[in-house]
Amino acid sequence: MYKILFTIFFFVSFNPAGSQIIVADKIVGEWINEEKDTRIEIYKTGEEYFGRLLWSEDLFEADGKTSRKDTRNSNEKLRTRNLLHVNLLNNFVFSEDLWDNGKMYDPKSGKTYNCLIKLRKEKLEVRSYVGIPLLGRSTYWDRVP
């Protein structure tokens, strides 16, 4: 009886797939960018991770209530959408301590970049690039307490 219980405990406790999910979900939550002018919520849908815009210094029109539109988007059909809750991070998949194969949308320029994300201690390294990661730029985000 003890052997059976020990075997069950061993497989449940040291299941690598279960521990990988816990590590992968560490980026879920709210983050603030390096410049402290944008707040992003990272969430998970299925096996992919996304990040939506929650707040930005220039998110609203002069009246303080109306969300600005995505006027710089390269896709003309998306230029009339509100920036509030727009996904800035799309389709990231966790693999070997990084979130990769995703895209990052920059509403200031209207451009979309390849991107990868790494968790470095308590900071999130968000590296956007064209072509290969070596030709990119990293920014570091802090978790919102």
Q: For 49-87, what is each residue's pLDDT tens digit?
A: 999 999 999 999 999 899 999 999 999 999 999 999 999
- Report which of 18, 44, 22, 51 is spatially closest to residue 144, judged by C-alpha positions: 51
pLDDT for the residue 20: 56
Report yes or no on 71 lying in a domain: yes
DSSP letter at 73 equals -
User: Token pair for residue 123?
Assistant: 């900071």
Instruction: Write the CB contacts of 132 (distance below 8 Å, at least 6 apart in sequence).
Output: none
* Cα 114 from Cα 105, distance rounded (Å): 9
- Residue 120: inside a domain, yes or no? yes
Over residues 132-140, the mean pLDDT reads 93
pLDDT, tens only, 7-47: 444 444 444 544 556 789 999 999 999 999 999 999 999 99
> In which band, very low, low, confident or very high, does the pLDDT at 3 lie, cut at 50, 70 and 90?
low
Structure tokens at 98: 């990084």
Can you tell me whether residue 41 is helix, strand or coil? Answer: strand
Residue 21 lies in a domain: no
CATH number at residue 45: 2.40.128.520
Count of other CB atoms within 10 angstroms of residue 105: 22
Contact 85, 15 (CB under 8 A): no
- Per the structure, the complete domain to which residue 136 belongs is given by 26-143
**Residue 9 resides in a domain:** no
